[in-house]
Amino acid sequence: MKRLLGLLFVLTILYACGNAPSDSGGSSTGAKPETTTKADDGKGVGAIKSVALNDPLDQALVEKGRSIYELKCAACHKLTDMRVVGPGYKGITKRRKPEWIMNMILHTDAMLAEDPTAQALLEECLTRMPNQNLTEEDARAVLEFMFANDQE
């Protein structure tokens, strides 16, 4: 009987301690309005604030972007609208601003932590996009390739 009472006591303590993390959950909801205001402009979170688009597209950048896509992106993203691990590329340049796309490529962790659109994609896809360690020039080439893909 003493063992049963001891077990109930331990379980009660564990249960009471288990409720403490809900306080931290409450504080994270307080942070959401702050992150929403940061991404209201649709450009995302990161160093890329402005992108001057090429018209017509720079074919050398398109080809470089295609090479980078095939090496680092194709395993998770298809050129159609089909989702594999991540969303498909088709129509991405119509749905997202160029700055958002480049920030997602270059500043993946910050985008997933703070940008509501990136967070919604993470909830949908259930897999974090890895940081591919691309340079800004590489990301620009991938962006140019995305625009070319949407024109085809």
pLDDT digits (tens, 9 = 90+) for 106-139: 999 999 999 999 999 999 999 999 999 999 999 9
What pTM was estimated for this model as a whole? 0.72
Residue 56 has pLDDT above 90, yes or no: yes
Give the mean pLDDT of the chain: 82
Which of these ranges, 19-28, 44-53, 107-116, 142-151, has the smallest mean pLDDT?
19-28
Element (H, E) at 64: helix 59-68
Distance of CA 152 to the CA centre of its chain: 25
Q: What is the CATH number of domain 59-151?
A: 1.10.760.10
* Mean pLDDT of the region 38-56: 87
Residue 22 has pLDDT above 90, yes or no: no
Task: Kindly list the distances between the CA atom of residue 71 and the CA atoms of 36, 60, 101, in Å, as whole numbers in the listed order.
Answer: 33, 17, 18
